[in-house]
Amino acid sequence: MISTRIWKLKRYGRFIPGSKETGVTPWKVLEAKDNKPEIVLTIVESGHLLVLQGQESLDTIPLLCGSDSIKVHQKSDNLMIRFIVKGESRMIRMQFDGCSMAEAINECSSAVEKLMEYIPVTTQDYAPLQPNQPPAAVPAPAVQVAQLLFHLIQFQHQKQN
């Protein structure tokens, strides 16, 4: 297996469909801890995105299946990926690691550049409020997240019909 680059992750989360009905938290989140192997992301030349913790594969996502089956969104130092495998919709979120927030954002941006060789990636930059800028001039993050979720749900319904 030849890989081009490895990115360290601070956090990795997987959405568990149907978990709300069973009373389970809908997101299973793994964090990089001192006593566990690090969580990494790599993209191999065969066109697969791999998320690994030590020798364990947490996720394998085929990137060559077309942009209808996979959607990737970057916000700051996070990547959210929604994909369909064998008719089942899945969603994962990755937060990149770094000594500072700026370094984590750079790592995430580096991974986005590599991903864009295979699929389109949407980005959403967070612009801090300037001292003389009124709050209404900056979109509210909650509204942005709600819009993203609306589009993801809409996409899922289109695929089911």
- The per-residue pLDDT for range 64-77, each reduced to its tens digit, is 876 678 899 999 99
How far apart are alpha carbons 53 and 51 in whole angstroms?
7
Give Cβ neighbours of residue 14 (< 8 Å, ≥ 6 apart): 27, 28, 58, 59, 90, 91, 92
Q: Choose the weakest-confidence range: 31-40, 48-57, 127-136, 148-157.
A: 127-136
How far apart are alpha carbons 97 and 103 in whole angstroms?
8
CB atoms within 10 A of CB 135: 7
Best CA proximity match to 40, nearest among 57, 23, 19: 57
Q: Which pTM does this prediction carry?
A: 0.70
Strands 121-124 and 70-75: parallel
Residues 26/19, Cβ–Cβ less than 8 Å: yes
Residue 87, pLDDT score: 78
How far apart are alpha carbons 157 and 8 in whole angstroms?
33
Q: Could you say which of 1.10.3470, 2.30.29, 2.40.50, 2.60.200 is the CATH number of the domain covering 3-128? A: 2.30.29
In tens, the pLDDT along 91-105 reads: 999 999 999 999 999
Give the start-to-end residue ranges of the domains of the chain. Answer: 3-128
Which letter does DSSP use for residue 83 in this model?
A: E
Joined tokens for residue 9 = 């992750």
Best CA proximity match to 126, nearest among 151, 104, 99: 104
How far apart are alpha carbons 50 and 125 in whole angstroms?
25
